[in-house]
Amino acid sequence: MSAIEVTVERAASVARSYRRTLLGALALMLLVWPFVLQSSMLGNVTLVFVFGLLAFSAIVPIGFAGQLILSQGAFFGIGAYTFVKLTAAGLPGIAAVPVAVVVTAGTAYVLGWPATRASGIYLGIITLAFNELFVIALNLFPAFTGGSTGIRSPQLLPDAVYDVVPSEVVYYYLLLVAFVLVYLGFRRLLGSRIGWAFLSIKENKTVAESIGIDAHRYRLLSFTIAGATCGLAGSLYAPLTGYISPTVFNLSTSIDIILAGIIGGLLVPIGSIFGAAVVVLLPDLLRFISDFRLTVFGVLLIVVLIYLPEGIGGWLRDRLD
């Protein structure tokens, strides 16, 4: 074992013994640091939580149910644009969020019904095409969507709130709560019979069906859940950034989302936050080599895929458990 490995192992064993304390410190930090961090940094962290939510839409269908889907960007966009149109029409932000989630979930359900009958690369391509069509459609109907220049988004909560607490702080806590709740929900779901059914279908569809699992139903379920999660993220993202445009929701974003899932570990729910952190924060950190940024990203992706099959989340889990 190299010196690096020995050091890492030492650090990990220390961390293991102080696990409770560390978790407590982490929780405290998460609650307190909005008051410590600079507002731009806070904005970035909040964005990490958004992507953490989005990463679940890679973890659940791709990691657990074994479906290659590429339409996360479009679902993200449907959530965002639905929020904007609803709030612009007068619906309070708090109500617009769940409606946006339902609308996105509904779209995913309708698309998923025929689409999840295909599998393998075909499902991937259908969802890829859907994502591309969505973005193109946004550009083709500017009267409704603001076209390629985009559209402004109203705030989530009534203005009165922002007079008391700065909006960055409000959104931080909102996204923190949303992420934690969704994470706990998924941990429960994926540890349940449903999660087991997903894995069985991924493993071997024929065998799963022979013991009575309706593969199509579960595939559709995982697809719809992915859509709903993206819809939630989108409906929170729009008021967070205040402005949305079609390029935010293109195929590149779907890929980023899946990357976040892979880097965090596709079978490791908590990995979502690590993957999200890398995808959101790394480009910023690599800013100084901006020309080579994407190249470095590409190399990083390949290296992680080949050498870290369980992602960062899985790696940590193996060390710290």
Partner 1 sequence: MAAIDTAAFIVVNGLIFGALIALTAVGLSLIFGVLGVPNFAQGEFAAVAGFTVVGLLGAGVSLAPAIVVALGLSCVLGVVAERLTIAKLYGRDNFLLLSFFVTFGLSLVSHNVLRIAFGGFEQIPGPQLGSIALFDFELSVLRLVAALIAVVMLGALHLFTKYTYVGLAMRAVSDDRQGAEMLGIDYDRISMVTFGVGGLLTGVSGILYGMLFTVYPTLGVSLTAFAFTIVVVGGVGSFTGVIAASLGIGIVETFTATVVGSEYRFFAIFLVLFLVLTLKPGGIGGDVDVGH
CA distance 261 to 131: 18
Considering only 5, 163, 291, 321, the residue that binds partner 1 (CB under 8 A) is 291
Q: Which residues of 170-195 are buried (b: 16+ CB within 10 A; e: fewer)?
A: bbbebbbebbeebbeebeebbeeebb
Q: How far is 320 from 317, CA to CA, in rounded Å?
A: 5
Q: Supply the minimum distance, in Å, between the C-beta of residue 249 and partner 1.
A: 15
Q: Smallest Cα–Cα separation from 283: which of 13, 14, 44, 15?
A: 44
Identify the residue among 44, 162, 185, 205 touching partner 1 (CB under 8 A): 205
Q: Which of 225, 241, 312 is nearest to 276 (CA)?
A: 312
- Residue 207 lies near partner 1 (rule: CB under 8 A): no
Strands (E), the chain: 151-152, 243-244
Q: For residues 75 and 134, is the Cβ–Cβ distance under 8 A?
A: no
Count of chain residues binding partner 1 (CB under 8 A)? 39
Dihedral (C-alpha) 179, 73, 119, 122: value to the nearest 10 degrees? -170
In the complex with partner 1, the residue whose CB is nearer, 168 or 256, is 256
Select from 66, 231, 265, 271 the one that contacts partner 1 (CB under 8 A). Answer: 66
Site for partner 1 in 295-314 (CB under 8 A): 295, 297-299, 301-302, 305-306, 309
| Cβ-based nearer residue to partner 1, 33 or 292 | 292
The answer to whether residue 213 forms part of the interface with partner 1 (CB under 8 A) is no
Applying CB under 8 A, does 315 fall inside the site for partner 1?
A: no
Residue 26 or 294 having the CB closest to partner 1: 294
Cβ closer to partner 1: 86 or 126? 126
Residues 6+ apart with CB under 8 A from 154: 84, 87, 88, 93, 239
Residues 93-152 that bind partner 1 (CB under 8 A): 114-115, 117-122, 124-126, 128-130, 132-133, 136
In which residue are the tokens 């100084």 written? 288
Q: Which two tokens stand for residue 118?
A: 């295909």
Stretch that binds partner 1, among 72-80, 82-90, 171-179, 256-264 (CB under 8 A): 256-264
Report in angstroms how near the CB of residue 139 gets to partner 1 at its nearest.
9
Residues that bind partner 1 (CB under 8 A): 62, 66, 68, 114-115, 117-122, 124-126, 128-130, 132-133, 136, 205-206, 255, 258-259, 262, 266, 291-292, 294-295, 297-299, 301-302, 305-306, 309
